[in-house]
Chain A
């Protein structure tokens, strides 16, 4: 048995080991929780594990006409782990007051929807 194994840790060393164990527990448990919810999720180390894309958005004018809407001028990064269908349409309505509604559709089987601007 080596000297290190027989040495008794001081209170300071015990505290340090406890803090490190707490850090590791957080780092292990947060991604574990993220495996349960919708994916891909932030803080979960889920790189390249899903091919989920943000929805396509469409501008709807007062007469009901629909046109594809390029949303890149209104976001910093169209990450797949964000709920764009919830977050973006109200912002688009504020930025583009001439719109009557914003529609969104996914390339996969998820249902699309519409957000009325007023």
Chain B
């Protein structure tokens, strides 16, 4: 994207209510994430578990603090949804999910990485400016700086583009990957070689379309609805059929929806140009 076009996109102001809805959905994602947090931390912090820290190791959370960490996470997630002390709460949540992501190589998931980016970009947006407890106590703002949510939109596009590029390999295109991940209790026809190849190609085309279609105003709503249906379908068909997998893919679906919402935010009206003074007679 040329720098001038990027500059125009980033320096706009947009309707704060749409960013507020994004904030609520991301808060819900964080709340749902807390359901698996004690299990993951307990497994990692067992004395017998392998530790694989990154080059710059973070201090380890004492195992006795897992419940307190989780409770704090839950309370902050609810506060983010409500927009209470939004900036402070958002900062704390960004720190907590960033800590989880970077604590150990085993806590990495694409889900955790995306959610960390989403929470950090939300922190940079004035997401408590409208439809929030903060806005009830102060004067709400109609429009806020667009650049953090524009970055979120561009980040979403990057995710889809690389998801497509990574799938351009023989194993995926032959249906071999999908058949490995499909739930094992679907109707038998779902595992037929031709069907699996067709479903793999449909998935690839859907992600490629989502990278483009959300940027086209006339096709935006259709694309967002299609994208939502696509992610819900993945959540219901990728296995094994256990609640944890539903939770992970369900959170990913909500994260994608949270990033779709700013595509619909109207921009603030541009200020009228200053009137040109009438030329003085010579």
Contact = CB atoms under 8 A, between A and B. Distances in A.
Nearest to A84: B50
Contact of A17 (B3, B104, B110, B172): B3
Given A39-B166, A46-B163, A75 B8 contact: no
A91 B40 CA distance: 19
A45 B110 contact: yes
Interface of B: 3, 6-8, 10-12, 40, 43-44, 46, 48-50, 52, 104-110, 113, 147, 150-151, 154-155, 158-159, 162-163, 165-167, 169, 171-172, 176-178, 180-181, 238, 270-273
B50 A74 contact: yes
Contacts of B171: 50-51
In this complex, which of A21, A39, A48 has the most chain B Cβ atoms within 10 angstroms of its Cβ? A48
Interface stretch (A22-30, A60-68, A98-106, A110-118): A22-30
Given A3-B271, A21-B3, A76-B49, 17 more contacts: A3-B273, A17-B7, A17-B10, A35-B162, A40-B166, A46-B166, A48-B181, A49-B163, A49-B166, A50-B166, A50-B171, A73-B46, A74-B50, A75-B50, A87-B50, A87-B52, A91-B50
A50 B177 contact: yes
A21 B6 contact: yes
Given A44-B166, A51-B177, A77 B43 contact: yes
Contacts of B108: 42, 79, 81
Contacts of A6: 273
A75 B49 contact: yes
A27 B155 contact: yes
Given A75-B50, A76-B104, A49 B169 contact: yes
10 contacts: A17-B11, A27-B154, A28-B158, A35-B162, A46-B163, A75-B50, A75-B106, A76-B40, A76-B104, A77-B40
